[in-house]
Structure 1
């Protein structure tokens, strides 16, 4: 079987695509998989490192304002459609799969024009522009949040969830404590702002550390992100903050699965992949949506968890260390609340998302 997969720009589109690719390798004998991306996106580095061949087309995103740049984008998109048609005709895929991002638009449009079988996967509660535009013409839509259904009326839609790495699910609590050398008798808070970190969250932590110092039942893992790590340590020193041994500051965690395994509460951004991972493990959260995410999709994601009782939400401009401390204290001191949040998170999780998507693919191919 031959498959073309496309989706890019950011990890939020690329990593689900790679998870689907891994699922295809497990399900089919020696499938041929070709990735289509752009040279400007993260996929240029990530996809070859994952062991998949990649070809590049021209594509760029639309500006949200009326501008001359949008005319250039339209012309570039049309050129990208032409490039995609050439690639698809040569490769002859049995199915073309898109996971969003502006590169997916030209590829999926080319596949539709050529009459190829098509599937798109939407990661966020509020669908991206590319997926909304092409959704009317594809064979099937896989969504990660039940709330997304209303944006794709009248189509064949399946709530699959977001595919995640198996290590996220299989790492045990004991392994996490051992690998991170943490105290298993303390409540563990994991704070991180996504792969790049979050400046506002790091700033709030400077005041939040006091809460940990005063409450010996807690231990904290704070991942600053590589960009802000040295500056954050410098600011701690300048402020004269003496850190307890129960506070660990890391620039990056390569084995985030260890931290997930021991975390009693997560404080962080509301990217689709992060939420898929924490709900698969049933971890309660305080979410601070990235305020500049395209079409404010992170707040849509966060509010979905909040409505179901799995998370609390603080908007970025309202974030302070004191507000965080107050919320953490309330979550742990209110009888049964942390347990109810954990149960709500687990109900939202889709640990079998990859298998659900592969089942849809088999259904499409068997038509």
Structure 2
């Protein structure tokens, strides 16, 4: 691909480079947002790793140029060096009004490459960090790498206030982390309130019938990656504690990222525990659910919680980074000390007993989600931060 100058010197359109580790971030986490940027007249260049299928899907969206980079989520010295060389080359020959690097690996390598390529405005967008619960020297190493990435950027943006606070506690200077580091109330993409919304009782009953769930079942959904940090084992522990309630059903909606967890879930020997692979109609699972459970140990923000709220479904979660932003305790759900399954169990039992009240509480949760996380507002906030000269 031929080098291109910044928008101000060529077509007049602002040029924005977005760099993520895996194409999943563009195809799922950035669904709708990138189309919004394009429709606002922004010329997009998208840099990422990922599967051929994912890259093909991204190209079909006709958002702009797509650059396949040798980025891997896991530490891979050879591939990491190759990805850095690729990014340095492309960010040297192409000029942008802004370069935004997001997701851990891409944020580190992209920020360094952008600085080496002397891009004039570089943004580090922090969605979360895998080392949230690490301690000691291992944690220090990861914090140091983040410090390097942020020092290579002109601006740092966080998708949640609690994530921002966590970085401050690790000693990163206020100079690197400005006070306005979180747009609005947080979130990376807001919530599509026309897609995630309460359904009529007849539609909810039909969805349950299609899923093989009875109308009198109390349905708990756990949406997202099935991995240790997502609290899958804690959810299974909760279901064991609720074994005396045969009408309680827990549906895990997502793909396995851990073979041991796959075996544990398949061997649970509990007909009340079910699995649904990741799907494009996750809104239907919220629509048929009575409760959204998020037993994660960490989140960048926890967008699933505001999707549930917009659907009129309360969330029960732990009071951890990211979730304390996406769950308003007592309004859109309930937060508990991490790992306190006894407290979660008591809350679930209480909700089962007063099931008739959940509809009204769900309406309150939806109003909160609509007021705080309207998608168009969230997208506009990010555009003004990514390209302040054009949209600020």
Structure-2-length-normalised TM-score: 0.64
Q: CA deviation at 1:256?
A: 1.1
1:119 equivalent in structure 2: 123
1:300 aligns to 2:312 (yes or no): no
1:7 aligned counterpart, secondary structure? strand
The aligned counterpart of 2:208 is 181
Task: Provide the rounded CA distance (Å) in 1 between the counterparts of 2:155 and 2:73.
Answer: 25
Q: CA deviation at 1:55?
A: 2.2
The 8 Å contact of residues 4 and 95 in structure 1, kept in 2 or not, is answered as yes
Q: Could you say which residue in structure 2 is the equivalent of 1:67? A: none
Which 10-residue stretch deviates more, 335-344 or 118-127? 335-344
1:252-305 per-position Cα deviation (integer Å, ceiling 9, x unaligned):
25111112234342113444332353355564222259xxxxxxxxx3223556
- Matches of 1:195 and 1:33, distance apart in 2: 28
Are residues 204 and 142 of structure 1, via their aligned partners in 2, closer, same or farther at CA, if it must alter by over 3 Å? Answer: same
Matched ranges for 1:273-352 at <5 A = 273-281=303-311, 283-287=313-317, 299-304=320-325, 308-309=329-330, 310-313=333-336, 315-316=338-339, 318-319=340-341, 324-331=344-351, 343=364, 347=368, 349-352=372-375
The answer as to 2:53 corresponding to 1:33 is no
Which residue of 99, 103, 116 corresponds with 2:102?
99
Paired with 1:224 and 1:333, the residues of 2 have a C-alpha distance of 25
| Structure 1 residues 58 and 212, CA gap change in structure 2 (3 angstroms) | closer
Gap regions ≥5 residues in structure 1: 63-71, 214-218, 290-298
Q: How many residues end up aligned between the 2 structures?
A: 327
Give the aligned CA root-mean-square deviation in angstroms.
4.4
Cα distance in 2 between the residues matched to 1:248 and 1:95: 47
Equivalent residue in structure 2 for 1:134, among 137, 145, 149? 149
What CA distance in whole angstroms lies between the structure 2 residues aligned with 1:267 and 1:280? 15
- Structure 2 distance, partners of 1:335, 1:221, is 16
Q: CA-to-partner distance for each residue in 1:195-236, whole Å, 9 max, x for gaps?
A: 3262442354245353253xxxxx645126555678646542
Q: 1:157 aligns with which of 166, 181, 184?
A: 181
SS class of match (2:105) = coil
Flag structure 2 segments of 5+ consecutive residues without an equivalent: 1-12, 133-141
How high is the TM-score relative to the length of structure 1? Answer: 0.68
Q: What does residue 210 of structure 1 align with?
A: 244
- 2:243 pairs with 1:223: no
Q: In 1, distance between residues paired with 2:234 and 2:190?
A: 28
